[in-house]
Amino acid sequence: MASIKIRAKMDGDITTVKALISHPMETGLRKDKKTGDLVPAHFIQEVTCEHKGTTVITALWGGAVSKNPYLSFKFRGAKAGDTLKLSWLDNQGQKDSTETQVR
């Protein structure tokens, strides 16, 4: 199952990208209610978006970002039909990426 839902839409010469990432984003500080043990840290560390092989944004995250994070940003230089690639990497080595076309 894909962990990223993404949409990219043009308005004039500005492209707005909106993404929702399904991820538990555990800080490592929360205790399990049944056992009392700490839930291990599990959070996204880096999110990148590329347009035509060029990185347009790199977000460095930590444990303070909420579960299932939402990301929205704008950039210039895209055209309708261009492909964007959004990727993430977490502190446990898990990763995912997806592509979408600018509308």
What CATH number is associated with residue 32?
2.60.40.10
* CA-CA-CA-CA torsion sign (102, 61, 67, 73): negative
Q: For the chain, how many structural domains are there in total?
A: 1
Q: Which residue segment(s) compose the domain that 74 sits in?
A: 4-101
Count of CB atoms situated within 10 Å of the CB of 32:
9
Given the structure tokens 């092989």, which residue do they identify?
Answer: 53
pLDDT given for residue 59 in this prediction: 98
Find how far residue 95's CA is from the centre of its chain.
10
Query: Are 50 and 31 contacting, i.e. CB atoms less than 8 angstroms apart?
Result: no
In this predicted model, what pLDDT tens digit does every residue of 17-59 receive, in sequence order? 999 999 999 999 999 999 999 999 999 999 999 999 999 999 9
- The pLDDT tens digits of the residues spanning 57-103 come to 999 999 999 999 999 999 999 999 999 999 999 999 999 999 999 99
Confidence at residue 1, expressed as pLDDT on a 0 to 100 scale: 59
So what's the pLDDT on residue 2? 81
Longest dimension (CA), the chain: 54
Q: Are 61 and 27 in contact (CB under 8 A)?
A: no
**49, 17 contact by CB (below 8 A):** yes
pLDDT score at 64: 94
